[in-house]
Chains A and B, each alone.
Chain A
Amino acid sequence: MGDDTPVAVLSSRNRLICDYFRQSFAQVTNPPIDSLREAAVMSLETCIGREHNVFHETASHAYRVLLPWPVLNYVKYQTLLGLDQRYYRNVRFSLNYDPESLGLRRALENLAEHCVTAVQSGATIIVLSDRDISRDKVPIPAPLAVGAVHQGLLKAGERPNANIIIETGSARDPHQFAVLLGLGATAIYPYLAFQSINQQQETGALEGDPIQLRKNYRRGIRKGLLKILSKMGICTMASYRGSQLFEAVGLAPEVVDLCCPKVSSKINGAGFAEIESDIRKVSANAWVEQTRPIRDGIYRFMYGGEEHAYNPDVVMNLQQAVASNDWSDYRKFADSVDKRPTLAIRDLLALKPAAKPLPLSKVEKAEQIFPRFDTAAMSIGALSPEAHESLAVAMNRLGGRSNSGEGGEDPKRFNTERNSRIKQVASGRFGVSAHYLVNADVLQIKVAQGAKPGEGGQLPGHKVTVETPPHHDIYSIEDLSQLIFDLKMVNPRALVSVKLVAGAGVGTIAVGVAKAYADLITIAGFDGGTGASPLSSVKYAGIPWELGLAETHQALVENNLRHKIRLQVDGGLKTGLDVVKAGILGAESFGFGTGPMVALGCKYLRICHLNNCATGIATQNKTLREKHFHGLPERVMNYFGFLARDVREILASLGAHRFTDIIGRSELLEQLPGKTAKQQALDLRPILASAATRNQFEPYCTEASNPPFDQGRLNQEILAAAKDALERNEAWSGQFGIHNYGRSVGATLSGEVARLHGREGLQDGQIRLNLSGTAGQSLGCWNTPGISIHLEGDANDYVGKGMSGGRIVLTTADVHRERARRNVICGNACLYGATGGELFANGQTGERFAVRNSGAHAVIEGAGHHACEYMTGGTVVIMGPIGPNLAAGMTGGELFLLDPNGEAERYLNPEFVEASPLEEQQFDAPRRRLKALVTTHVSLTGSEWGRKVLESWELMLSHWVYVIPKNLAASNDISQQDVPLRLVKA
Chain B
Amino acid sequence: MSNHIALLHDSLRDFRDSCGFALLAHMDGEKSHWLVETTLESLARLTHRGAVAADGKSGDGCGIMLQFPEPFLREVAKECGFRLSERFASGLVFFSPDDALIERGKKILTGHLSRSALDVVGWREVPTCPEVVGEQALESMPAIYQVFVNAPAGWRPHDIERQLFAARRLAFEEERALSDPDPLYYVVTLSNLTMVYKGLVQAEHLGDFYPDLRDQRMTSSIGICHQRFSTNTLPRWNYAQPFRYLAHNGEINSVNANRDWANARAGILHSPLLPRLEELSHLVNESGSDSSSADNLLEVFLAGGMDLFRAMRLLMPPAVRDDMDPELRAFLEFNSMHQEPWDGPAGVVTTNGSIASCNLDRNGLRPARYSITHDGIFTVASETGVWDCPPERIKRRGRLGPGEMIAVDTQTGKFWKNSAIDDSLKATHAYREWMTENVVRVWNNDEQERKAANKFMRESARQLPGSAVKKSIPSSNRWRWKPRSL
Contact partners of A687 in chain B: CB under 8 A = 8
| Known interface pairs A559-B233, A797-B367; A689-B7 also in contact (CB < 8 Å) | yes
B 388-432 to A, binary, CB cutoff 8 A, 1 in contact else 0: 100110101111011000000000000000000000000011100
Contacts of B430 in A (CB 8 A): 59
**B269 A55 Cβ-Cβ under 8 A:** yes
Which chain B positions have C-beta within 8 A of A509? 16, 231
Give the most central of A79, A222, A564: most B CB within 10 Å. Answer: A79
B268 touches A (CB below 8 Å): yes
Contact of B473 with A by CB under 8 A: yes
| Contact in complex: A63, B345 (CB < 8 Å) | no
Interchain nearest-CB distance for B43 vs A (Å)? 12
A824's partner among B9, B397, B449 (CB-CB below 8 A) is B397
> How does the 8 Å CB contact mask read for A507-523 relative to B, with 1 for contact and 0 for none?
11101100110000000
29 contacts between A and B (CB under 8 A): A40-B319, A52-B268, A52-B338, A59-B438, A61-B338, A63-B438, A65-B442, A66-B337, A66-B439, A66-B479, A68-B442, A75-B445, A78-B452, A79-B442, A81-B467, A82-B469, A194-B460, A210-B453, A232-B253, A233-B253, A242-B257, A262-B260, A475-B365, A515-B53, A683-B1, A686-B6, A740-B45, A824-B399, A865-B401
Interface residues on A, range: 35 or more
Is A81 a contact of B305 with CB atoms below 8 Å?
no
Interface-central residue, A233, A245, A268, A907, by most chain B CB under 10 Å: A233
In the assembled complex, B323 has its CB within 8 A of some CB on chain A: yes
Which chain B positions have C-beta within 8 A of A63? 438-439
B256 at interface (Cβ–Cβ under 8 A)?
Answer: yes
Mask, A159-203, CB within 8 Å of B = 1, is 111000000000000000000000000000001001100110000
B306 at the interface (CB under 8 A from A): yes
Given A44-B486, A477-B16, A693-B7, decide whether A75 and B51 contact each other with a Cβ distance below 8 A: no
Whether the Cβ atoms of B385 and A740 lie closer than 8 Å is yes
- B409 → chain A closest CB, angstroms: 22
B435 touching A29 by the CB < 8 A rule?
no
Q: Nearest chain A CB to B411's CB is how many angstroms away? A: 24
If A61-B338, A159-B261, A515-B52 touch, whether A508 touches B232 (CB-CB below 8 Å) is: yes
State the CA gap A906–B384 with chains docked (Å): 30
The verdict on A686 contacting B401 (CB below 8 Å), with A61-B337, A62-B434, A241-B257 known, is: no
A161 to chain B: closest residue by CB? B268
Residues in A whose Cβ lies below 8 Å from that of B473: 79, 82-84
Mark A426-456 against chain B: 1 for CB-CB distance below 8 A, else 0. 0000000000000000000000000000000
Q: With the chains together, A127 CA to B449 CA distance in Å?
A: 21
| CA–CA, A807 and B384, complex, Å | 22
Chain A residues with Cβ below 8 Å from B402 are 41, 847, 864-865
**Which of A12-20, A272-280, A810-818, A912-920 participates in binding chain B?**
A810-818
Interface stretch of the complex, out of A318-326, A604-612, A771-779? A771-779
Task: Apart from A57-B334, A239-B340, list 15 A-B contacts with CB within 8 A.
Answer: A62-B438, A74-B455, A81-B467, A160-B267, A211-B449, A232-B253, A481-B48, A508-B15, A554-B9, A559-B53, A561-B54, A686-B5, A776-B48, A812-B391, A815-B392
CB-based contact B443/A555 at 8 Å: no
The complex places the Cα of A816 from the Cα of B395 at a distance, in Å, of 8
Known: A511-B231, A515-B233. A846 touches B18 (CB 8 A): no
Which of B9, B257, B446, B453 has its CB near the most chain A CB atoms (within 10 A)?
B9
Q: Which of B254, B364, B399, B449 contacts A240 (CB 8 A)?
A: B254
Assess whether B216 is interfacial by the CB under 8 Å rule: no
Is A157 in the interface zone, CB < 8 Å from B? Answer: yes
User: Are A160 and B401 closer than 8 Å at their CB atoms?
Assistant: no
Q: Which residue of B lies closest to A548 (CB)?
A: B8
State the Cβ distance, B458 to closest chain A Cβ, in Å. 11
Q: How far is the CA of A435 from the CA of B360 in the complex (A)?
A: 36
The 8 A CB mask of B246-281 against A (1 = contact, 0 = none) is 000111011011101101111111110000000000
- Listed in ascending order, the chain B residues whose CB lies under 8 Å from chain A are 1, 5-9, 11, 14-20, 45, 47-56, 229-234, 249-251, 253-254, 256-258, 260-261, 263-271, 301, 304-306, 314, 319-323, 334-345, 362-367, 369, 383-386, 388, 391-392, 394, 396-399, 401-402, 428-430, 433-435, 437-446, 448-450, 452-453, 455-457, 459-460, 462, 464-465, 467-473, 477, 479, 484, 486
Q: Is A26 an interface residue (CB 8 A)?
A: yes
Chain A residue nearest in CB terms to B388: A739
Q: How far is the CA of A819 from the CA of B391 in the complex (A)?
A: 13
A505 touches B14 (CB 8 A): yes
Looking at the assembled complex, report how far the CB atom of A798 sits from the nearest CB atom of chain B, in whole angstroms: 10
| Complex Cα–Cα for A209 and B10 (A) | 53
Contact yes or no, A31 B345, CB < 8 A = yes
When the two chains form their complex, are residues A51 and B268 in contact, meaning their CB atoms are under 8 A apart?
yes
Least Cβ–Cβ distance between A805 and chain B, in angstroms = 26
Pick from A507, A515, A776, A795: contact of B51, CB under 8 Å = A515
Interface assignment of A291: CB less than 8 Å from any CB of chain B: no
A555-B11 contact given A709-B52, A794-B397, A864-B364, CB 8 Å threshold: yes
Task: Decide if A388 is an interface residue (CB 8 Å cutoff).
Answer: no
Cα–Cα, bound, A53→B342 (Å) = 18
Q: Which of A85, A132, A558, A685 contacts B468, CB < 8 Å? A: A85
Whole-angstrom CA separation of A709 from B56 in the bound complex: 8
What does the 1/0 interface line of A79-97 toward B look like (CB < 8 Å)? 1111111000110100000
CB contacts (< 8 Å) of B344 on chain A: these are 30, 233-234
In the bound complex, CA of A617 to CA of B335 (Å): 55
**B391/A884 in contact, CB under 8 A:** no
A145 to B141, CA, bound (A): 46
A73 touches B449 (CB 8 A): yes
How far, in angstroms, from A558 to B428 measured CA to CA in the complex? 53
| Residue interface mask A675-713, B partner, CB < 8 A = 1 | 000000001011101100100000000000000011000
- Chain B residues with Cβ below 8 Å from A864 are 364, 399, 401-402
What 9 pairs between A and B have smallest CB-CB spacing? A774-B385, A512-B231, A813-B391, A243-B257, A551-B8, A238-B340, A239-B254, A507-B9, A560-B54
Residues 234-254 of A, flagged 1 when their CB comes within 8 A of B and 0 if not, give 111011111111000000000
A747 to chain B, nearest CB (A): 15
With the chains together, A686 CA to B322 CA distance in Å? Answer: 50
Is A64 part of the binding interface, using a Cβ–Cβ cutoff of 8 Å? yes
In Å, the complex CA distance between A73 and B447 comes to: 13
In the assembled complex, which residues on chain A have CB atoms less than 8 Å from the CB atom of B50? 478
